[in-house]
Amino acid sequence: MNGIFIVPTGLGFEIGGHAGDATPAARLIASTVDKLIVHPNVVNASDINEMTDNMLYVEGSMLDNFLTGTSYLQEVKSNRIMVAVNKPVTPEVINVVSAARAVLGADVFIWELETPITMTSKVDGNGASGEYDGVLDMLESLQDNRDHIHFDALALATPVKVDDEVTLEYLRGGGGINPWGGIEAIVSREVSNALGKPVAHAPVAQGTLSTLNEVVDPRMAAEMLSLSYLFSVIKGLHKAPRVDLGKGLHVSDIDFMISPATCYGPPHTHCIMRNIPNYCRRKQRSGTNSTPRSTFSSFE
């Protein structure tokens, strides 16, 4: 049996809306199946990533394409990972790349961007989004250097500008919308679509986030003990499946998908079209002082 577990980024879900806090649920589900597809938001927890060996780390646009049936997911033993960073390269980035080589045995290298990628977060009642620049310049540079730069997966390690007040409200408020996640998902999707490769983003050099020394909600605690915010991305991309047009895991091999009950997008549409059951998690309270219970509804 094979399944999919997704939690959309930047919408503030109670489970999976923060820093890798959907990992326990994902690990439980993974223990009951052969393969479980997750996207980076489910298991990325800054410098922590506790995904299991049978989880497949798949970025959102690759998942959408996979669910259309036009591509396969081909498992690999290891990817060659490029970490793209703005100049200058910081000691934190160098150290996390060195640690990935030493601890994971990852084949990973750093590439300095000639034009910096800038990302600015926007948070409103609809969730987190934002603006960005420099991505097209990076893609053009990669195209120009395609004969000299070889990689299977791309980790973007660039800052996301967030107002200090928004950061503090999120960290001290005990929940809410992760202000970095929305714009990260937008940029990762654009780059992955252009390259046809696994892509994930790490919001390095986070200002207030990296200097605050307070006890926070457990779901955000991974943010507070991280230096680079990058290791989870490298670990996820280390064995992320590649797109293949002829072999590997196919949408016809998928038996179910799990997601929060209050979201709907292309993955749900594709699953409905293919009669793949969708199990949607929601919270239910039986009284004002009662403990929330997790319940699931389904539609096909």
Digit-coded pLDDT (tens) for 180-211: 888 998 999 999 999 999 999 999 866 666 66
| Rg for the chain, CA atoms, rounded | 19
pLDDT of residue 8: 84
pLDDT at residue 62 is higher than 90: yes
Which of 15-29, 89-103, 240-254 has the weakest average pLDDT? 15-29
CB 113 within 8 A of CB 159: no
**225 or 54, which is more confident?**
54
The per-residue pLDDT for range 253-270, each reduced to its tens digit, is: 999 999 988 788 899 999
- Which residues, at least 6 apart from 17, have a Cβ–Cβ distance to it below 8 Å? 7, 11, 175, 177, 178, 181, 219
What's the CA gap between 42 and 51, in Å, rounded? 9
Pairing of strands 80-86, 107-113: parallel
pLDDT at residue 294 is higher than 50: no
Please give the average per-residue pLDDT across 3-17, as a whole number.
Answer: 83
What's the CA gap between 233 and 48, in Å, rounded? 9
pTM (2 decimals)? Answer: 0.89
pLDDT of residue 175: 67
CB 57 within 8 A of CB 76: no
- Which residues, at least 6 apart from 142, have a Cβ–Cβ distance to it below 8 Å? 149, 195
pLDDT of residue 79: 98
